[in-house]
Amino acid sequence: MNGEAKKQVLRSVAYGVYVLGVRGGGIGASAESHATAVSWLTQISFEPPMIGVALERESTTLPLLRAAGAFALSVLPAGARSIASRLGRSSATTPRKLLGIAHHPAPESGAPVLDDATGWLDCRVRAELAAGDHVVVAAEVIEAGTQREGETLTLRETGFRYSG
């Protein structure tokens, strides 16, 4: 395999930047809500509306999400690089990442939605697929809301990398 080409082509895939929020208080989870920045995400069904998101197998998020069985997805607006940066950090080194970031609970899941998001999806986990060092979580969109106008923050705009 041409490793350099592999990296370069995988990095040419276009991504937005989103925040996946999970409500605290699930079985075995802390009482506090949790959030993390994600980019490996796509819609995967029209009917029912579903999205798929790939999460690191060893992430803090995955067990919390499994315990809650639901999450909220906030779409970050262009310009929200600092929020993406903060929420993109590892929870191991930056616990309580949501501290100081305005948020409110999604109506169905109670998972945190960022006040700054252009819009949000309230999602219920339907299935998982193990994929190498990640797990693809397939979830149904059960409620949605728009909050403000704006373009979606792209991974390219942030200058961050999460591919290759």
Q: Which stretch binds a copy of itself (CB under 8 A): 62-70, 82-90, 95-103, 130-138?
A: 130-138
Q: According to CB under 8 A, which one of 66, 101, 134, 160 is a site residue for a copy of itself?
A: 134
Query: What is the full DSSP assignment across 30-65?
Result: -SS-EEEEE--EEEEETTTTEEEEEEETT-SHHHHH
Round to whole Å and give the CA distance between 92 and 15.
25
CA-wise closest residue to 74 among 140, 119, 35: 119
Q: Is 159 in the site for a copy of itself (CB under 8 A)?
A: no
Report how many helices (DSSP H) and strands (DSSP E) the chain contains, helices first.
4, 9
Cis peptide leading into residue 48 (ω within 30°)? yes
| Residue 43-82 contact track with a copy of itself, rule CB under 8 A, x = bound | xxxxxxxxxx-x--------------------x-------
Min. distance of Cβ 110 from a copy of itself in angstroms?
17
**Looking at the chain, how many residues does it have?**
164
Closer to a copy of itself by Cβ: residue 30 or 126: 126
**Min dist. Cβ of residue 29 to a copy of itself (A):** 24
Q: How far apart are CA 19 and CA 112, in angstroms?
A: 9
Of residues 58, 94, 104, 129, which one binds a copy of itself by CB under 8 A? 129
C-beta closer to a copy of itself: residue 29 or 54: 54
Contact 107, 123 (CB under 8 A): no
- What does the binding site for a copy of itself look like in residue numbers (CB under 8 A)? 1-2, 5-6, 8-10, 12-16, 18, 39-52, 54, 75, 118-121, 126-127, 129-134, 136, 138, 140-146, 152, 154, 163-164
